[in-house]
Structure 1
């Protein structure tokens, strides 16, 4: 058989793979965004539920923060989960993760007290940790580099979209059915999403060589200096984001005198701003800066730090339009960073290790998520001042920029 004859079938297979990827990639984006959104329902519901939980269970601010610690504490399993997704595929991880989130969130309906609720939130967090890393692999394989930043940012809007949805719906559900009925409702919705992911997700028809490459040693990631520095940046940004999201409602109610519904509406505005910003930062990263993710990450970090200082200086009688403007700008910074960051992580690692790298980044980010809210809550409890808490968040954001400036490598992922 001649080289030309042998090349014919290979070219035909390659062409079929490309056509399949192009026609189905938008379904993959929808499914991945759905997974990102629904698996985040539980952790994003804690902030709008905080006043109801405090009232019913007599919780302190630090105990509210520990609920987030319980949910995100399972982040330590994200590296092996990412490796499993790189080795065995995405679909299984989606179904298992969503099922765990939905089941244990629904079971919170019957929690007799704070201790059991804490355990159920931790088990729900395990499901979150299982479902998250594979979403990055899905985008890395199904989308070419020229559109990857936008696609990843759309997918990453899922967390903020979950926050937007829960900020609007949870107070109304809690008023009607209590926080227990709210947890049951959210859990059932996540279980429905697990079924949809199992039915409609398809694995990318990658060549055998690409699948075998996922057996690379994870030590390759731990030797990647730039990736580790970026994980440090993610740690700082994660501390700032979850502290802002978890305590914005309480800050507005307790420091500025807003009603719970009004404060929850502003939290929804911040989440919506974060959703739009994640897409916007992705477009800017792809189209304006030609894939230079580091520049956009720096802009976001500076915006976050300055906004935190503005919140620290905000007087109790500040006009509502100023408060609203700061909340919206804060949403773009505190919440909007993750899409560009995850694209940067995956491109520094390469396609074959993208889910493992995402797991590593998310593990480090979750450390920030775990320690940030309780430390912020403790700081406010001790100092009796939200200004001190926001000043600390500004310091964390600016320190993260120093780490970002030390990254010197270019992306490794090819189109």
Structure 2
């Protein structure tokens, strides 16, 4: 049995973290390698926003479909397909000869990201509680990609070129294939194969999806533009600017694991989780304001803003998925995850082109960071309405 302290459970958590890391590498490669990509393909901030939009278009548009597909594929095959699609996207990005190739490759990579959360959430939902540590560890995989992308990829790009830097991600994808192929997966029962016909999505899930979309708008600003902004406007060396993204990732890894554990140990885990989400949105507003003030206050505030971002908008998805797994019936976990994650990526899709257009039209990043802050304020307003709507489902017996 995959009990709370069994070696198999530890193996599952580690494997899921790896599987969440590898599809996300391309996402953070775009941000950390932005100066190289904009130079080679002569991209304005708006055009670069369109490149990242291709990634998030796939992630947003395909997430609901992938959630249903996971139910048909089964857990192990879904995990293997996730890693495989992501690897194809990464390899084609490394070899893209022109901008159209970049757009196509990041779209493929986005499809893998669309599948990652539904597939890994279903794997967790089949295990007995507690789930917090599993959710926190597996969600930390996304920010592990940010840490690796920010700390390693810019340095490799300076030394060997950005294409070699992206190609180096294949090592991680190979590990992901092994993790998906060897992870101990519980036998899937009949009830997990299909969602009951006529089952409607709960209002609380829809409200949580709206919140996730607004947080995605705010998070995209950091993922896509932080390194480019620090390099262009605060005149940081590109490797040091990449370390900002790595800092966001490192802090978020710790926060995702810690906060889910704190929420689960509370008297009312679901309500505590929802209160945490509102607090994260408020902290994220402050982080955006700090980052925007860097040209006036100095590079030091960028590091403070990076830490605050890691504690808030970069970490919220761990708590979100914890609440979702606790409150969704096992037959609805993949579909609900796909809906919430699709909305999150819809925000990530919309935000970069808007951010880039504001910068191009005004010549100032201040308006872009203001856009991000407005979205985060809206998220903080939306989340209280979801609290009463999220009610836990009984433990399957």
Q: What TM-score, normalized to structure 1?
A: 0.88
Q: Which of 209, 224, 235 is residue 231 of structure 1 equivalent to? A: 209
Deviation (angstroms), 1:112? 1.4
Deviation (angstroms), 1:240? 0.7
Which residue of structure 1 lines up, in the alignment, with residue 318 of structure 2? 339
Deviation (angstroms), 1:228? 0.2
Is 2:153 the partner of 1:170? yes
Deviation (angstroms), 1:307? 2.1
Runs of at least 4 residues off by over 6 Å: none
Q: Which has the larger radius of gyration?
A: 1
Q: Which of 139, 163, 183 is residue 201 of structure 1 equivalent to? A: 183
Q: Which of 80, 87, 105 is residue 102 of structure 1 equivalent to? A: 87
Which residue of structure 2 lines up, in the alignment, with residue 303 of structure 1? 283
**Using the alignment, how far apart are the partners of 1:315 and 1:68 within structure 2?**
24
Deviation (angstroms), 1:226? 0.8
1:162-186 deviation per Cα after TM superposition (whole angstroms, max 9, x unaligned):
0111101101111222111122221
- The 1:414–1:26 alpha-carbon spacing in structure 2 relative to 1, beyond 3 Å, is farther
Which residue of structure 1 lines up, in the alignment, with residue 340 of structure 2? 361
Structure 1 unaligned blocks of 5 or more: 1-16
1:335-361 deviation per Cα after TM superposition (whole angstroms, max 9, x unaligned):
011100112223332222111111111
Which residue of structure 2 lines up, in the alignment, with residue 148 of structure 1? 131
**Using the alignment, how far apart are the partners of 2:54 and 2:146 within structure 1?**
18
Deviation (angstroms), 1:21? 9.3
Q: Which moved more, 1:91-100 or 1:119-128?
A: 119-128
Q: Which of 52, 56, 59 is residue 68 of structure 1 equivalent to? A: 52
Q: Which of 341, 350, 375 is residue 354 of structure 2 equivalent to? A: 375
- The 1:207–1:116 alpha-carbon spacing in structure 2 relative to 1, beyond 3 Å, is closer
Which residue of structure 2 lines up, in the alignment, with residue 395 of structure 1? 374
**Using the alignment, how far apart are the partners of 1:344 and 1:56 within structure 2?**
43
Q: What TM-score, normalized to structure 2?
A: 0.92
**Using the alignment, how far apart are the partners of 1:393 and 1:363 within structure 2?**
19
Which residue of structure 1 lines up, in the alignment, with residue 99 of structure 2? 114
Number of residue pairs matched by the alignment: 391
1:354-403 deviation per Cα after TM superposition (whole angstroms, max 9, x unaligned):
11111111111111111111211111111222222222212111111222
**Using the alignment, how far apart are the partners of 1:287 and 1:48 within structure 2?**
36
Q: CA RMSD in A?
A: 2.1
- The 1:25–1:357 alpha-carbon spacing in structure 2 relative to 1, beyond 3 Å, is same
- Tell whether the 8 Å contact from 1:221 to 1:357 is kept in structure 2 after alignment: no
- Tell whether the 8 Å contact from 2:11 to 2:184 is kept in structure 1 after alignment: no
Structure 2 unaligned blocks of 5 or more: none
**Using the alignment, how far apart are the partners of 2:90 and 2:379 within structure 1?**
33
Q: Which moved more, 1:247-256 or 1:235-244?
A: 247-256
Which residue of structure 2 lines up, in the alignment, with residue 52 of structure 1? 36
Is 2:104 the partner of 1:125? no
Is 2:16 the partner of 1:32? yes
- Tell whether the 8 Å contact from 2:18 to 2:179 is kept in structure 1 after alignment: no
- Tell whether the 8 Å contact from 2:211 to 2:379 is kept in structure 1 after alignment: yes
Higher helix share: 1
Which residue of structure 2 lines up, in the alignment, with residue 184 of structure 1? 167
